[in-house]
Structure 1
Amino acid sequence: MADVGVRAARREDVAAVTGTQIRAWKFGYREFLPEGPLEQMTGPAAESMWQRQWDEAISFPPTPRHRVLVAVEQVLLDTDAFPALGPGGIEAVAAMAGAEKLAGLASHAPAEDPDLDLNTTGELLTFLIDPDYVRRGHGSRLLNATIDYLRDDGYRTVVTWVFADNYAVRGFLESAGWGVDGAERVLDMGRSVRMIRLATDIS
C-alpha cells in the first residue's frame, strides 16, 4: 500500500526534485530530442546547475505566486506481517515503510510571454513525473493542485510550453481540457525542435 498526495516542495527536496527532473527528461525526451543536447541537459555539470536553480526556486521564490509542488508516495507496510524478522528487522522494515518517495513535480508562476496579461494568466513551467511512478494518478493530482493554487491567486487562464513531439504530455493535457493557442517557438538543438503553447480556461 502507498499513501499519496501533493504538497509544497521543501528545501530538503532539492536533490530529489533535481533527480526526478533528470530521470523524467532522459526517459520522456529521448524519442524526439537530439542525443547530444539531451546529454548536456542531463549530465553531471547540468545536474549541479539544476540543483542550484531548484534550491533558489524552492527556498527563495521571486513572488508568492511562484510555487514548486511535489507529488509524493509513502509506503505503508504492516510490520505485524514480518514477525520472523526479529526486532531489528522489523525496525528496518518500519523505517523503509515510513520513507517518502518523490514521484513528480510541477512549478508555476505568472506568465511572462509579452502577448499575455500576467495579472490574469499563469504559466505551468514544469510538469514531470518520475518514470518509475507513471500511471499512478500523480499527474492528475499535481495538475489539479496547480490549478487550485492558480485559481486561488485570481488567474483565469493558464498556459504551458511543450515540445510539439511530446505526444504523451500533449495527450494528457489535452484530455484535461487544454488546447493549442497558436503560439510557437523553435529551438536550435543541432536541428530545429518545435515547441507549442497550450492554454486552458480555469475561470
Structure 2
Amino acid sequence: MSTPSVRAAVATDAPEIARIQRTTWRTAFADLLGEQALAELDANAEEQWAAAIEHPATTVHVATEGEFTVGFCVAGPAPDEEVAYASGELPEDAARTGLIATILVEPRWGRRGHGGRLLASAAAGLRRNGAERGISWVAESDSASLGFFRRAGWSPDGTVRTLDTGQRRLREVRLTGQLEIELVGG
C-alpha cells in the first residue's frame, strides 16, 4: 500500500495540478460553473498554476499517494477584499488571517484523508507565517465541501458573494475557522 503525503508544489507539478483541476471541475462542478468557464480553464491552466507555484506570498501544496499526485491546496495571506466585511470594513485580525483559496482532490482519490492532510498542512504553513485564523470561500450548493470544512471546525461567518462565470451566477459563502487542525484516525 502506498503512503499518502503532502508537500510543497514545484514548477513541474503544474501540468498535473491543472489536470486534477480540470477533472474535478468537470466531474463535480460542471453544473455550477457552465461550459464557458470550463473551456476558459482548459485554455491556460498550466501557465496559471506555474505562476501560482512561483508566487512568493502563497504556497501550493500537493497531496500524493505513492507516485500519484491526487490533490492540491493553495494557501496564503488573505487579501483585504477576501477578508473584509460586506461593508468593506476590515476586521481587526485582517493582517493575521490566512486564505485557503482552493482544496481539490481528484474524485477517484476521495475519501482517503487527502483533503484533511492538505488542509492541515496549509493551516500549519499559515500559522508559521503569522496567521491566527483562516477563511475560505465555498459554493453555497457544494454540500461536500461545506461538510468537509464543518468537520474541520470551520463555519459560515455570514458573508456571501456572487461570482459571474459567464453563463451562471455562483453564490459562495465565506467560512472561517481556527488553524489548529487535528487529523483523526490516521
- TM-score, normalised by the number of residues in structure 1: 0.78
Asked if structure 1 preserves the Cα contact closer than 8 Å seen for 2:22 and 2:41, the reply is no
Q: Choose the corresponding residue for 1:104, options 57, 65, 71.
A: 71
Deviation at 1:135, TM superposition (A): 0.6
Shift of 1:20: 0.3
Checking the alignment, whether the CA contact within 8 Å between 1:110 and 1:118 is kept in structure 2 is no
Q: Which 5+ residue runs of structure 2 have no aligned equivalent?
A: 85-89, 181-186
1:1-203 to 2 correspondence within 5 Å?
1-30=1-30, 32-33=31-32, 37-43=33-39, 45-58=40-53, 60-63=54-57, 66-74=58-66, 100-112=67-79, 113=81, 114=84, 115-116=90-91, 117-189=93-165, 190-202=167-179
Rounded to whole Å, the distance in 2 between the matches of 1:138 and 1:24 is 14
- Counterpart amino acid of residue 184 in structure 1: V
Q: What are the Cα deviations for residues 175-201 of structure 1, in whole angstroms up to 9, with x where unaligned? A: 110000011111234443211100002
Whether contact under 8 Å (1:26, 1:38) holds in the other structure is no
**1:78 aligned partner:** none
- AA partner of residue 179 (structure 1): S
One-letter code aligned to 1:61: H
Q: Percent identity?
A: 34
CA root-mean-square deviation: 1.6
Which residue does the alignment assign to 2:87? none
* 1:53-104 Cα shifts (integer Å, max 9, x gaps): 101111x2143xx100000011xxxxxxxxxxxxxxxxxxxxxxxxx11100
Instruction: For residues 21-77 of structure 1, give each alpha carbon's deviation from its aligned partner in whole angstroms, at most 9, with x where no partner exists.
Output: 1111111213x51xxx5322333x53232211101111x2143xx100000011xxx
TM-score by length of 2: 0.85
| Paired residue secondary structure (1:2) | coil
What is the CA deviation profile of residues 128-183 of structure 1, one whole-angstrom value per residue up to 9, with x for unaligned ones? 00011001110111111111111111111100001000000000100110000011
The amino acid that maps onto 1:128 is: L
C-alpha distance in 1, partners of 2:20/2:94?
29
The CA distance in 2 between the partners of 1:38 and 1:192, in whole Å, is 10
Unmatched segments (≥5 aa) in structure 1 = 75-99
Distance 2:50 2:163 in 1: 26
